Each structure stands twice: as C-alpha cells, then as structure tokens.
Structure 1
Amino acid sequence: MDCVALLEKLIGFPSLVGTGNHAIAGWIADYASTHGAAVHLLPGPEGDRANLFITLGPVDARGYILSGHMDVVRADEPQWTSDPFTLRQEGARLYGRGTSDMKGFLAASLALLPKLAGKRLKRPLHLAFSYDEEAGCRGVPHLLAHLPALCDMPLGAIIGEPSGLQPILAHKGKAAARLTVTGKSGHSSRPDLALNAIHGLSQVLSTCLSVSAALEKGPFDPTFAPAYSTLQVGVISGGQAVNIIPADARIELEVRAIAGQSPKDLLHPVERAAEALTEAGYGVDWVLLSEYPALALDPTSALAALAREISGQEPLAAVSYGTEAGLYQQAGMEAIICGPGDIARAHKPDEFITRDELIACEAMLERLAAHLF
C-alpha cells in the first residue's frame, strides 16, 4: 500500500478521542506484523483502548522513535462538505478528519516499514502510536511506562504533529482541572436556610484571577508568546433560575507553563482555595483532567542537528500548542516535533493534507532511515 492508500485506510477508522480504538490499533498491528516488525499492543487501564509499540531492527541498540497519536477530535461541524471519515481527494488535497492531525504522519511512518523489511539494521526504528492524546496526552504515559522492557533507551523521538516539516524545539506544559462546588439549594427569599454554591465558587475565581495576574510578572521565556506561564478559566456552569439558590457550580481551568515550571504546581493555589471552602460547609470535588510537561530541547543537541538535516529546515524555537514530546523528554530521551501538514487546519471542517506534504514526509523519513544502517 502506498502512503495515500494507508491514509485512506486510517481515516476510515473514526477513532474519536475518549472512545475504544481496538479497530484501528488492531489493523495497524496486523499491517506491521506482515512486514516483519515486532508488535506490542499495550492495553490501557480503560480496557477498550490501547497504545502500539512497533519495532524493526535490534531492540538492544539505541534507535529512533516515530511518535504519533491514533485518536482524532470529533467531526460534528455542519460545514464539512463530505464524510469526514472517508478520504476525499480533490486535486492535490486529501480531505478527512485527522489528515493533518495526525494520521498523515502515521501513514508516512507505516509506509516506511516495507522499505526496511528484511534489511539488516544496526539501529532500530520504533513506531509509538498512542491513544487519547487529544484529551491531554492521557494514553502515552502508559506506553512510556513499558518502554524499558521493550527496547534500549532511544536516541530520540520525533513527534509528528503538523509543523510543515519544520522541527520545533519547545512548547509549554499544561495541566487542566475541574472543580465542582456543592452547597444547599433553597428559595432565594431565604438565603439564610441555604448555601449558595456560586457564591462559594466566586471565592475560588478570585484566586484564579490573582494567580493569573501574578504569572504575568514572570518568570519569562522569550521563546514563547506570551513569554510567561498563564492560567485561565475556560468553562463555568451552575444554577437553574434567579429565584433558586444554586446547589452546585463548577469550573474547568487550565495552566500553560514555560519550561522549568510545573503545570500541576501552578494549580495548587487554586486547589487550596477550593479546599478552604469546606470550612464553610461546602462540598468540593477537584479532578485533575490532564497534565503534561513542557518540551525544551537544546538547539545544539544531536537530535536537533539530525532533524535539521533530514527536514532541510532550520528548527523553530517554540510553538504555543502542546504535544506528547515533553513526556518523551521526561522519560529520558531527546524529543522534537516535526510532521507534515499544518496545525491551522486541525480541528476544523474540511481538514486536509496535500499529496506533496505526504511525499515530503516520506522522503524525510527515508533520510532518517539512512542513519539506521
């Protein structure tokens, strides 16, 4: 199968984030096995989804990981002009959910397997395909926990998020949480007999604003825009009617942290403010929804030099979106972002990638493969 045929097959699996992925993972596992790869299907704790770790070459040597995620965001937008889970070819463009983010990279990686099958490699090539990346990189930590038993520590990981094949050295870390405050409902004419959950939550919102303002004062990293860590509340809900004292209210919030700051730690003042509400009789439920660290690759590193060579482009210092790359770096290896497509097309109706972008990615990966012999 050529790269476009592989992409067509992958797009046909509606592997939505937060849902079972055995269909797509099983198909990829079978495809890789037919080309002589060692395949490890690694079930996650959810029971209905799994990560994949695929290897060609010696596992006792240090090689490279091509990393991508199998899940995609929903495609409910009415602006789609064709079935988002059927690849549509129109001129040079290939439309479908996940074409850029990031099944195009998966297809190009899988297309490399038959070209290397049966050849004697001095270094291994690993494909690490995860689940639920779009929910805050929830799947890949389970894959990385298995890594020491699967191979020698890789020299580096290339995370194929859409970057126009320009290597990217850094991104911010992120942590997201949901807070639910529970009070006691009642008629608005007798607030003395009730406990207003929104009023309680407002005290936590005040802390959110204070933390956000403090972060704007530094520390700073000029490679990012903005150059400091941030906190924002993205979702708020609660109450039924103006004459009913609300029994519950909730927010979802996130922090995005520059390298050197822990995203989870930046949430601690808000969590402590929430816990303080229990003294006033409120119920408090704090749930950490997701967390991943920042990526900060030394521009003089061996992986940065390799990415520059195989992509033919100078690395970009940083991007504002997050990826699994920081988790690979945290696991003890160098990591860099470099993949086909454009992040500006992701999560939108009529997402697409071009044939030329796929061809260029295949050529880049073949140049990487030359370092395996």
Structure 2
Amino acid sequence: MVEEILAWLVACPSVAGTPNGEIVGRIAAFCRSHGATVRVLPGPEGDRANLFATIGPADVPGIVLSGHTDVVPAGEEGWRSDPFVLRAEGERLYGRGTTDMKGFLACALAAVPALARLDLARPLHLAFSYDEEAGCRGVPHMIAALPGLCAPPTGVVVGEPSGLRGVLAHKGKAAARLEVRGRAGHSSRPDLGRNAIHAMTGVLAEAVAHGRALEAGPLDARFEPPWSSLQVGLVSGGRALNVVPDLCTAEIEARAVAGVSPRALLEPVRARLTALEGEGFGVAWRELSAYPALGLEPGSALAALVAELTGHAAVPAVSYGTEAGLFQEAGLDAIVCGPGDIARAHRPDEYVERAELAECLAMILSLGRRLAA
C-alpha cells in the first residue's frame, strides 16, 4: 500500500507557493475512509490548507507525526523521467518529493488502517502542512490552532529525511529581501542621481562584517560550522553601464545555533539599511522566511522513544532546518526522524528506497502498538 499511496502523492505536484487542494483533498478522503477525524485548516492565502487528522481519542495526550505536503519545483535538468510520475527501478522509487518528504507521508497514511483497528488508548495525530519549502509558512497557523484540535501532545516527530535516525538539533534560519531605491540619471552627471548600488554596498559590507564577527560565538560543537552564520546570497541592480542605477536588491540569510534568534542576527543589517532613508534613499525590507533552531535534550522521553522504535542512536545535529523548531517554540518536545537521505532532496532523480519506506512504516506501527497499550 505504501507505494500505491506514494504514487498518487507524487502525482499531485503540490509545488510550494501554489494551491494544494488536490493533495489535501485526497489525503482527507483517505483518512476519513478509515475512521480518522480530519480537520482541513485553510491558510490566509485562501488556496492552501493544512491538514490535521486524529486516530484515537483527541482529548488525551498523544503523539504527532508531522510532515509537509509541498515540494520544490522540478525544473532541473537531469530528470530521466517525468518527476511527477513515480518510477520504480530496482529498489529505488524516483519522483519529486519521494525523499522530501512524501515518502514519510505515504508511510504515515499506509499505517492509518492498521492504527484504526488498534483502538488506541492515546491518539496518533497526522499534522500535514503547506509551504514548508517556501519558509515554513503554513505550519504556524496549524500550531496556533492545536489547542482546539487535541489535548497537548507529548511529542512531535517531524518526518524529514534523516536515515530514520532521531535528530536532536538543527540551526534556525531567517532570510530577507532588501531593496534600495535611488534616482536614475546619466553616468556623466552622477551628482544629479542617487546610485542605489553604491548605497547598497554599505549595507552589504555590514552583512559581511557581522557574519565574520559571528565566528567568535556563541559556539555549539554539534554543528558544522559551530557558529551562527550570515551571508549575502543574491544581489541585483542596474540597467546599463552609463545609467546611474535607481534600484538595487539583495537577499540575505542567517543561520543560528540553538539559543540564538535568527531574526536578531539580521537586525544590524536592517539598521544599516534603514539609515539610508536619512541619506535620501527609499528602502524596503521583506522577510522571506524564519524558523527557530531545534534543541531537544538527549535524555528526553521523546528521544528515548524514537531510539527504541528505530533501533538507532540519535544524531546530535544536522545542518538543514525543519518545522521541528516551531513546534518546540510552541512548548512541545520535537524530534526529526524520517526515511531517506537529505542529500537526495531538491535534485534531479530524487528517490527513496523501498527498504527505507518499509522500515519507517514498521516504526509507525510499533508506535501505534505502544499507544494502544
């Protein structure tokens, strides 16, 4: 059943930033057909929704299996087949999202019929979000609605690809788009224009200097590198060499070790940008994404549970980010654990292995038996 479900999940493109009614509707119908209580939670965009499904009694604490329904676009060169048609080749199943992270969704859904038959004493919840790949935009709305959906969960398992090993920590991230607006003119009379690129260089210099300063700490040896970081990733401006540019844009990101606010890391850059208003420039700052770091204690009950269920020791930390930090920020213990390898994500011929799906399904069913005891 896992492969059948994965096939129709992959066939729903559900690219981040686009309507997701098709995939949410199919998941909701499947869960309801097996007796789960399902809530579809529309987001403020109007064309996207989160989904929250419960197997078992919602009024007692249980466990949440969390995943996102969206995927990154599949426009890269190198795909050997349609990325939105599941292709089997030996033990590998190819398609966009097979690893990140529809493989986990397929395992959770394939477990629903068996879980429904267990008459769970404590519930298992499925929390499927939208637009995770666009900066974790959907899940905050679902987290805010949780008090009205179920009793406070005892833990959240976020099924991002981790080789089915629990991940205790990851860095937080914040990203922003900066804009400087000046005044155009001929380059022979720069005194009559306001050069937006020149103005932006001071902001970029602040970003570079602040990024270097972060290398001094705070440090967390679980990460590589062990410090928070800040970088400029994109810069654009100008129309012709002999025209004073009236617009320059840049995109920057910060990645923060646990205990450090990623948004706060961007504040010195924002302050330098804002100061340009006093020099006669127009400026704009738009947050592109933000989520906090994850830092689960190794001795926590959730870490012990996942280690027992998988038979694998936990990984101290990973370099990628997930929605787990947002659940933890809301006061819930959270851990990352899902099938597949993150190195296969966002690449052509993304794939998950059949054995990885089987192992993940076994973990979820074992969790269900514990919740039934």
Structure-1-length-normalised TM-score? 0.99
Alignment match, 2:256: 257
Residue 142 of structure 2 corresponds to residue 143 of structure 1: yes
Paired residue type of 1:140: V
Shift of 1:116: 1.6
SS at match of 1:349: coil
Deviations 1:282-333 (A, max 9, x none): 0000001111000000000000000100011000000000000000111111
Q: 2:42 is matched by which residue type in structure 1?
A: P
RMSD of the alignment, in Å? 0.6
> Residue 41 of structure 2 aligns with which residue?
42
The aligned amino acid for 1:351 is E
1:196 aligns with 2:195: yes
Secondary structure in structure 1 of the residue aligned to 2:133 = helix
For 1:211 and 1:119, the matched residues in 2 are separated by 55
Q: Where in structure 2 are the equivalents of 1:200-279 lying within 5 Å?
A: 200-279=199-278
Q: Which amino acid aligns with 1:169?
A: L
Aligned to 2:337: 338
Given the alignment of the two structures, is residue 105 of structure 1 paired with residue 104 of structure 2, yes or no?
A: yes
> Secondary structure of 1:360's match?
helix
Q: Residue 74 of structure 1 corresponds to which residue in structure 2?
A: 73
User: Which 10-residue stretch deviates more, 116-125 or 227-236?
Assistant: 116-125
Q: TM-score, normalised by structure 2?
A: 0.99
Q: Percent identity among equivalent residues?
A: 59
**Amino acid in structure 2 at the alignment position of 1:324:** E
Counterpart-to-counterpart distance in 1, 2:207 and 2:331: 33
Are 2:5 and 2:106, in contact at CA under 8 Å, matched by a contact in 1?
yes
Contact kept, 8 Å, 1:105 with 1:361, in 2: the verdict is yes
**Contact conserved, 2:190 with 2:244, CA < 8 A, in 1?**
yes
1:280 aligns with 2:276: no
Runs of 4+ residues deviating >2 angstroms: none
**Counterpart-to-counterpart distance in 2, 1:116 and 1:256:** 38
Q: Secondary structure at the match of 1:58?
A: coil
Separation in 1 of the partners of 2:327 and 2:69?
Answer: 17
Give the equivalent residue in structure 1 for 2:120: 121
Q: CA deviation at 1:259?
A: 0.7
- Partners of 2:114 and 2:143 lie apart in 1 by 27
Q: Partners in 1 of 2:319 and 2:92 — Cα distance?
A: 26
Q: Corresponding residue for 1:59?
A: 58
Deviation at 1:119, TM superposition (A): 3.4
CA distance in 2, matches of 1:126, 1:192: 63
Deviation at 1:347, TM superposition (A): 0.3
Amino acid at match of 2:104: F
Shift of 1:10: 0.3
Counterparts of 2:341 and 2:221 in 1: how far apart (Å)? Answer: 24
Q: Determine if contact 2:171/2:321 at 8 Å carries over to the other structure.
A: yes
- 1:177 corresponds to which residue? 176
* 1:105 aligned counterpart, secondary structure: helix
* Structure 1 Cα separation of the partners of residues 147 and 7 of structure 2: 33
Q: Which one-letter code corresponds to 2:287 in the other structure?
A: L
Give the conservation status (yes or no) of the 8 Å contact 1:36–1:118. Answer: no
**Secondary structure of 1:205's match?**
helix
Find the counterpart in structure 1 of residue 131 from structure 2: 132
- 1:51: Cα distance to partner? 0.3
CA contact (8 A) 2:182 2:196 kept: yes
Listed as ranges, the gaps of 5+ residues in structure 1 are none
Q: Does the 8 Å CA contact 1:170/1:296 hold for their aligned counterparts? A: yes
Aligned to 2:9, what secondary structure does the other structure show? helix
Secondary structure class of the residue paired with 2:216: coil
What is the distance in 1 between the residues matched to 2:281 and 2:211? 25
1:242-272 per-residue CA deviation (whole Å, 9 max, x = no partner) reads 1000000010000000011100011110000
